[in-house]
A = this chain, B = another copy of it.
């Protein structure tokens, strides 16, 4: 079990154990010893050497992930409950985190392309081994609790369309379209014309081929480009899961795009993004290994830096964080089932990194340290697209309202 455990290691472990004990997490050193004295623990962190112990003490946000990935940190008793309990220990960001979140880097056009390539161009095969059949890589909507992941992703796309009250023949621009599922859903089910942009070559190629197979090429145009280059005017602006990659310093450019592309006075839009209650950078390890340049903003940051400069009125906000926890639980289970395949192709470190990312994200949404906001907005001078939410959730539509009669 590695080298012997010295006096210093025992003292350091005792300090760390004290910190973890309120979460019910036990710490075990490489000789099997532990100073845990709480009630039945929910799980155990097993540290393989002094270097791992030091790393976790000095820079926990980064080193927990690094050590887990390298295998020098093992977790017994269920990765998710352990991570969820640890996350709850620090739901409120420290002042250091709050300050550093204001210096979150932005992503230039080149850098955004590189960052997206890092994550999304791992190969469509990789993603299809654990996403749903339509490759929807954003929070699903479990409209009924017994829905499958496939059903919940369709329910999510449909919820987005209903919140936007899409009408046949309208034009929609989608910023960051992934593998194209939402664009095709909008075109197929709601009869709208969609222009969808994405900086990932692999995703765009996949989406184009899919549109061709469905005979929707005339209705949906997939463009490999940055959202900042969007031109034209549209009835609807939609962006699902892209804002996390934009970076705070580039919010004004996004605002400019929205302001110039959204038709008035009947335009409206929806932003769906991972957010925070209080400003805080994304976890350092996630930024290093999974999402370079990623940042999850607060609703207020999006309101003041995107929607106010774009002159948009906020009509509706829904927080779906528990739906994202459930979505991630589905992905984790499928990822675990595909683990031999992933290990064979990308190696064990990669597999452990992605396991930690998926399970850790589930834990973070479940604990309430990450939020998922869906924000519906419209230019300040526009009439809101519906009178009551009952129209979105199954009630009758009220067209007199739309005509502006009171």
Contact = CB atoms under 8 A, between A and B. Distances in A.
A321 to B, nearest CB: 7
Contacts of A388: 141-143
A393 to B, nearest CB: 5
Contacts of A380: 91-92, 277-278, 368
Interface of A: 88, 91-92, 141-143, 145, 277-278, 298-300, 303-304, 307-308, 311-319, 321-323, 325-326, 329, 366-368, 371, 373, 380-384, 387-390, 392-395, 398, 400-401, 406
B308 A145 contact: no
Number of copies: 2
- The winner among A321, A323, A329, A368 for most chain B CB atoms within 10 A is A368
3 shortest interchain CB distances as A-B pairs: A317-B317, A300-B303, A300-B300
B325 A406 contact: yes
Given A143-B390, A299-B300, 13 more contacts: A91-B381, A277-B307, A277-B312, A300-B300, A313-B368, A314-B371, A314-B373, A316-B317, A322-B384, A322-B387, A326-B406, A366-B406, A393-B393
| Interface residue SS majority, chain A | mixed
Contacts of A387: 142, 145, 322-323
Contacts of A383: 322
Contacts of A384: 319, 321-322
24 contacts: A88-B381, A141-B388, A142-B388, A143-B388, A145-B387, A277-B307, A277-B311, A277-B314, A277-B380, A298-B308, A299-B314, A300-B300, A300-B303, A300-B304, A303-B303, A313-B371, A314-B317, A319-B384, A322-B383, A322-B406, A329-B406, A389-B393, A393-B394, A393-B395
A169 to B, nearest CB: 25
B390 A311 contact: no
Contacts of A323: 387
Contact of A308 (B277, B373, B400): B277
A135 to B, nearest CB: 22
A159 to B, nearest CB: 9
A17 B380 CA distance: 25
B298 A303 contact: yes
A92 B311 contact: yes
A300 B302 CA distance: 9
A152 to B, nearest CB: 11
Contact of A381 (B142, B368, B390): B368
B315 A319 contact: yes
Contacts of A406: 322, 325-326, 329, 366
- The winner among A299, A311, A316, A401 for most chain B CB atoms within 10 A is A299
